[in-house]
Amino acid sequence: MPILSAGLLMYRRRQGGPVEVLLAHPGGPFWSRRDQASWTLPKGEIAPAEDPLDAARREFEEETGFASTPPFHLLGELRQKSGKRITAWAFEGDADPAGLKSNTFEMEWPPRSGRRQAFPEIDRLAWFELPQARDKLIAGQVPFVDRLEQWLAPG
Between residues 82 and 75, which one has the greater pLDDT? 75
Q: Which pTM was predicted? A: 0.92
User: pLDDT tens across 95-135, in order?
Assistant: 999 999 998 888 888 888 889 999 989 999 999 999 999 99
Nearest to 7 by CA among 78, 100, 88: 88
Structural domains in the chain, CATH included, are 4-152 (3.90.79.10)
155 — pLDDT class (breaks 50, 70, 90): low
